[in-house]
Chain A
Amino acid sequence: MIGNEETHDVERLLPPPIKRIVVDEQLQPTIVQPPVADPVAATGPSAGAVRAGARAHRRGTPGPERMTLDGLSVSYGTKRAVNEVSLPIRQGEVLALIGPSGCGKTTLLRTLNRLTELTPTARREGRILLDGQDVDELEVTALRRRVSMVFQQPNPFPMSIFDNVAYALREQAMKRPGKAAVEPQVIDALRRAGLYDEVKDDLSRPALRLSGGQQQRLCIARALAVRPEVLLMDEPCSALDPRSTAVIEELIQELRSELAIVIVTHNLQQAYRVGDHVAFMYLGDLVEYGRTEQVFAAPRAQRTRDYVGGAFG
């Protein structure tokens, strides 16, 4: 349990928000990324406001490649779910993955952190590189901490809010840093996920008593707590109301400077709002990949045109 005074102490002890450090230290000192260029989005999370300012802070130059998919195919038994997909996933930007239901978006996403290996029938071909290294050469647990995931349904563990995030931080079953040791990181993760102010009064509350939107942000906090390089989000807003959706979209805008984000969405407007690049899949094939404006305004393929055509009619 975290009392109020204690909480304030911890706040004072906290290091400055790490996302800026990450941007400064790593990889892309040349890219000046205003954290939130849109003042409207920063103050009031209404969907309209986010949309109005969303495209304002798109950069010209793409960031460095974090992950590379090279001829990636996935089959379930004899059924091809993903077919020869090659894609770059770049630091500091959001890749929106769109396409009709069943086209293999979830499968593609789950392959990136090797979660498909939990499905006995799934078989993978092609290469996935993380910072130039084949993911098959990495320890799977280490890979999943570097490439973490938020699921379509909020899926907190049946424990307290604190323990949900602390569990992600603690190494494995046997080594157990104490509560005090992980507390600053837990609070930081909750804050980065924009949840801290709503739950700080009682972090020992059961996570499953939170609202759906809060649960999803807790899952994001959990995913962020391991300090991933890539964040995979599978339709993170599909179970949420417009307000919670706006909060999470805003969060994505803030996080994009420190991470590479891949987001699957059925909502084309959301893809337009949050995506720097858009990948359109159809029946397992990658039909089109390009900058968001280009894919929406001037799609090259007829399939893409048909699919995105209705979105901004």
Chain B
Amino acid sequence: MAATAPPLPQKRRLDSSLSSWRWGDRIGFVACWAAGIGLCLIAAGIVLYMGFQGLKYLDATLLVTHPNVDTDQSKSGGFLDPIIGTVLLTLIGIAIATPIAVGTAVWLVEYGRPAWLARLVESGIEVVAGTPDIVIAIFGLALFQKGLFSWMSFSAAGGAVFGRSFLTAGAMMSLIALPMVFGATREGLQSIPAHVREASYALGKTRIATIRRVLLPAVKPNVSTGAALGMGRIAGDTAIVVVLLGATLRLQSEGGLPVLGTLRGTGSTLTSYVYNNSPAGEGAAPNRAYAAAFVLLLVVIALNFAVDGIARRGARYGLESTRLDRQ
């Protein structure tokens, strides 16, 4: 009996129906399925509902006309400025976050000394990653209203620094993207086996050359993935926009210079536009809110596809093909 019994339950388990399971297992099994399918339904619901509503109200002129403050819906314009605002803010944020995150990850993985400092840096990034965006936003406002940062926004006649601009909002936005870029880069560096570095040193290469020419190219797909994820987070963030971008409907330039003026000025993004036009906001133009929300959703979904594409393309020279048989 002892010899024949063990295989039996296993076989039963594999191909028997649910009816032979214990009740606890059955409930757990059904719950897992339900959770998975439920999530798919919710995702499909969001996309379909927003798609349906968005397409209903979206038309091409909305994308290219400036918004107006007007109670008459036919005159309140489109959301060109919020689209530009989202793009601009995302680019500023990621442009600040990426070099800092990559540099930090390289230092941590390749040098990481003294150890206490490395631990401190890691916990610092964890804290930043865990801080709610509204807290980051308020901190940013307090920080950038200091006279030292008056060049980033503008000062009122009395010398009070406004503290709200694309630059200040972008700087704080970089904080919410930074942990994603950092995490992806660190993971990439850690997955490069030590013998790759050793091979480079054995060719008479310095550590800097090794980082620059071997390690950084190898983690490029990781950096891109992290950057795309971070851009998705920036594009979707509302709190920092509302607090730090001024949420003026149109781009408001500060000073005469063309680009710097815009960067120092205020504006809005798709998120703040949706918020302000939704039934919750003051504008109460839900059809515009839906259309803009749909555009925002498309942007974020496109970024997610970009992540997948980068990851797949990055495998070209990658270590994945050999990592398994190495270990």
Contacts and interface: CB of A to CB of B under 8 A. Distances in A.
Interface of A: 113, 115, 118, 140-145, 148-149, 151, 153, 155-160, 167-168, 170, 172-173, 206-209, 219, 222-223, 226
> Which of B195, B198, B202, B326 lies at the interface centre, i.e. has the most chain A CB atoms within 10 A of its CB?
B202
Contacts of A222: 199, 203
The binding surface of chain B is classed by DSSP as helix
B212 interface: yes
Given A141-B204, A141-B206, A173 B213 contact: yes
Contact of B204 (A145, A151, A155, A208): A145
A203 to B, nearest CB: 13
Contacts of A219: 199
Contact of A172 (B199, B201, B202, B205): B205
B83 interface: no
A206 B218 CA distance: 12
Of all A-B residue pairs in the complex, the 10 with the closest CB atoms, nearest first, are: A144-B204, A145-B204, A173-B209, A141-B204, A173-B212, A149-B202, A206-B317, A155-B195, A155-B199, A158-B317
B76 to A, nearest CB: 53
B318 A208 contact: yes
Contact of A157 (B199, B204, B321): B199
Contacts of A159: 214, 217-218, 317
A144 B202 contact: yes
Contact of B208 (A144, A173, A226): A173
B27 to A, nearest CB: 47
A144 B198 contact: no
Contacts of B214: 157-159, 167
B322 A208 contact: yes
B140 to A, nearest CB: 36
Contact of A145 (B200, B203, B208, B321): B203
A209 B203 contact: no
B322 A226 contact: no
Interface residues of B, number: 27
A253 to B, nearest CB: 23
A162 B213 CA distance: 14
Contact of A151 (B199, B205, B217, B322): B199
Nearest to A143: B204
A118 B194 CA distance: 11
Nearest to B321: A208
Interface of B: 192-193, 195-196, 198-206, 208-209, 212-214, 217-218, 316-319, 321-322, 326
Nearest to A171: B209
A113 B201 CA distance: 10
A168 B199 CA distance: 10
Contacts of B195: 151, 153, 155
11 contacts: A115-B202, A144-B202, A148-B203, A149-B202, A157-B199, A158-B196, A158-B319, A160-B317, A172-B205, A222-B199, A226-B204
Contacts of A151: 195, 198-199, 202
Contacts of B218: 157-159
B202 A113 contact: yes
B45 to A, nearest CB: 42
A208 B319 contact: yes
A219 B199 CA distance: 9
A129 B218 CA distance: 36
Given A151-B198, A153-B326, A157-B200, A172 B206 contact: yes
A157 B317 CA distance: 9
A275 to B, nearest CB: 22
Given A155-B199, A172-B205, A208-B319, 15 more contacts: A115-B202, A141-B204, A143-B204, A148-B203, A151-B202, A155-B193, A156-B199, A157-B218, A158-B317, A168-B203, A173-B206, A173-B208, A173-B209, A173-B212, A208-B321
A236 to B, nearest CB: 13
Contacts of B316: 206
Contact of A208 (B200, B201, B209, B317): B317
Given A157-B214, A159-B217, A223 B317 contact: no
